[in-house]
Homo-oligomer: A and B are copies of this chain.
Amino acid sequence: MRGIWERKMSYWYGVEPRGWESHVHQSLEEDLGSGDVTAPLFLSNQRSKWYVEIQASGVICGLAIADYLVRAHPESEVDASPFTDGDRVDPGDLVLAGCSPTAHLLAVERTVLNYLMTLSGTATLTSRYVTATSGYPCRITETRKTIPGLRRLQKYAVRAGGGFNHRMGLYDAAMIKDNHIKAVGSIASAVETLRSQSSHMMRIEVECESRPQVEEAVAAGADIVLLDNMEFELMAEIVAEFGDRVMLEASGGVNLDTVGKIAQTGVHVISVGALTHSVTGLSMHLEIG
């Protein structure tokens, strides 16, 4: 599995480290502000051995950030982790360990854990949806319903959990949604306008709430059709009729109880808002000793 995951990493290669470091500096600033007022407890040459221990089962994500934060002090040592982002972890697993100046370690401890808990939480939830649809050829993706400021990292965590990414934002693919259709008047004219104005490199997806809308979207030449909150049977019918002519994505009302049945309809993509609009941190702690 590591080979596949290295490919995933490279998807982010080049740009992610930049945004990622700046996000980390801002989060550290939130916690450290004008300085850690308990740090005077420690002489500058005092060091401690430490480890991060998992307290619940899930998928780990964010190790590079944790490593970066602890290594920020030039005399801080971090052991090579036996885990990689995307790996399954269980209680008692030590995902990171090392030996660091104590004052530094305790200055970054909370920020390290906040990233690991948050991103592993998203990776873990994603992996549940992926497992619940295993055997079906559909992809699980997140939506644009993300925690403000955390989108790129959440999308990375979705991939660590075995999911795929939807568009990054309003800028890298076009989706004609209900509010667009209301404002423009018809799916046909919306697709036609976009085709004639936007880059030839841009895919166009149309959100549909009924079978006639799907027909209109397919006729207009949509690249992808989103089936919004439809009944299983209707989705299955649409897949049967249009599934080899257009990519079909299901969204709305997706949860761990329904996702398997949705996958069964044969849709190509299932997008899940809960993957990123909510977060349940994966429990873990950092211990000295």
The one of B11, B41, B42 that contacts A39, using a Cβ cutoff of 8 Å:
B11
Cβ of A145 within 8 Å of any chain B Cβ, yes or no, is: yes
Query: Which residue of chain B has the shortest Cβ distance to A184 in the bound complex?
Result: B41
Contact B10 A168 (CB under 8 A): no
**B contact residues around A183 at 8 Å (CB):** 41-42, 46, 48, 102, 106, 288
Query: Which residue of chain B has the shortest Cβ distance to A287 in the bound complex?
Result: B179
Instruction: Kindly provide the distance from the CB of A31 to the nearest chain B CB, expressed in whole angstroms.
Output: 4
Residue-by-residue, is A213-238 near B (CB-CB < 8 Å gives 1, otherwise 0)?
A: 00000000000100000000000000
Cα–Cα distance between A277 and B282 once the two chains are bound (Å): 9
Cβ of A247 within 8 Å of any chain B Cβ, yes or no, is: yes
Residue-by-residue, is A95-119 near B (CB-CB < 8 Å gives 1, otherwise 0)?
A: 0000000111111111101110110
**B contact residues around A45 at 8 Å (CB):** 6
Contact B40 A7 (CB under 8 A): yes
Contact A170 B42 (CB under 8 A): no
A113-B145, A247-B200, A279-B278 given; A173·B15 CB < 8 A:
no
Query: Which residue of chain B has the shortest Cβ distance to A27 in the bound complex?
Result: B148
Residue-by-residue, is A246-286 near B (CB-CB < 8 Å gives 1, otherwise 0)?
A: 01010000000000000000001100000001111100001
The residues in A between 1 and 46 inclusive whose CB is less than 8 angstroms from any CB of B are 3, 6-16, 18-19, 23-46
Binds B, one of A86-94, A126-134, A159-167: A159-167
**B contact residues around A277 at 8 Å (CB):** 114, 117-118, 279, 281
Contact A194 B150 (CB under 8 A): no
A34-B152, A151-B31, A199-B173 given; A190·B10 CB < 8 A:
no
Cβ of A240 within 8 Å of any chain B Cβ, yes or no, is: no
Contact B15 A40 (CB under 8 A): no
Query: Which residue of chain B has the shortest Cβ distance to A36 in the bound complex?
Result: B170
Instruction: Kindly provide the distance from the CB of A30 to the nearest chain B CB, expressed in whole angstroms.
Output: 4
**B contact residues around A61 at 8 Å (CB):** none
Contact B37 A199 (CB under 8 A): yes
**B contact residues around A3 at 8 Å (CB):** 43
- 25 A-B interface contacts by CB (under 8 A): A8-B40, A10-B41, A10-B42, A11-B40, A13-B103, A14-B103, A16-B35, A26-B149, A27-B151, A30-B169, A31-B170, A33-B170, A34-B168, A37-B173, A37-B174, A40-B193, A40-B194, A40-B198, A41-B193, A114-B147, A117-B277, A118-B277, A150-B150, A167-B201, A173-B202
Please give me the 9 A-B residue pairs with the lowest Cβ-Cβ distance, nearest first: A14-B107, A173-B201, A33-B171, A15-B32, A27-B148, A40-B197, A36-B170, A172-B172, A277-B281
Known: A37-B172, A141-B199, A179-B286. 5 other contacts (CB 8 A): A15-B34, A15-B107, A33-B34, A37-B198, A46-B183
